[in-house]
């Protein structure tokens, strides 16, 4: 009961990840997306934002038929040194995780847009 009162009074605050995502976290997210997507080089990204803990955004990739499947939310995190990629619509992904990390509309994150850092090179 005391803990609840302290939280309500603002005496205890949850640890908030400070600062932007590191280059290593962005690179790890890019690698994880590359491994999971069918045709990563053709992937399109938008609204990629993050902090020191999680990267959120939208991805649209080609399916096996060669057509784009539509925009899907994604989140990448390395909590407790356990890398995890969540892509909306994947069999093993619960929307609750995406909602928690990125918000229901995928736009909880604010700050700089890291889309160019995640997008594949167009060589």
Chain position carrying tokens 């997008």: 119
Tokens coding 87: 């892509």
Chain position carrying tokens 């997210």: 29
Chain position carrying tokens 């509309």: 105
Per-residue b or e along 71-97, where b marks 16 or more CB atoms closer than 10 Å to that residue's CB? bbbbbbbbeeeeeebbbbeeeebeeee
* Phi, psi (rounded to 5 degrees) for 35: -70, -35
Q: Give the tens place of pLDDT for each residue, 30-88.
A: 999 999 899 999 999 999 999 999 999 999 999 899 999 999 999 999 988 889 999 99
Contact 88, 71 (CB under 8 A): no
Q: Give the tens place of pLDDT for each residue, 88-114.
A: 988 777 788 899 999 888 888 888 999
């Amino acid at each position: 009961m005391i803990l609840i009162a302290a939280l309500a009074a603002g005496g205890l605050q949850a640890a908030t990840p400070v600062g932007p995502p590191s280059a290593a976290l962005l690179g790890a997210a890019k690698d994880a997306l590359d491994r999971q997507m069918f045709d990563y080089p053709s992937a399109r990204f938008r609204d990629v934002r993050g902090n020191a803990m999680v990267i959120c955004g939208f991805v649209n990739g080609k399916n096996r038929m060669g057509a784009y499947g539509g925009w899907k939310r994604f989140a990448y995190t390395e909590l407790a040194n356990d890398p995890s990629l969540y892509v909306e619509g994947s069999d093993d992904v619960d929307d609750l995780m995406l909602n928690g990390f990125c918000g229901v509309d995928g736009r909880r994150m604010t700050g700089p847009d890291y889309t160019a850092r995640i997008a594949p090179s167009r060589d």
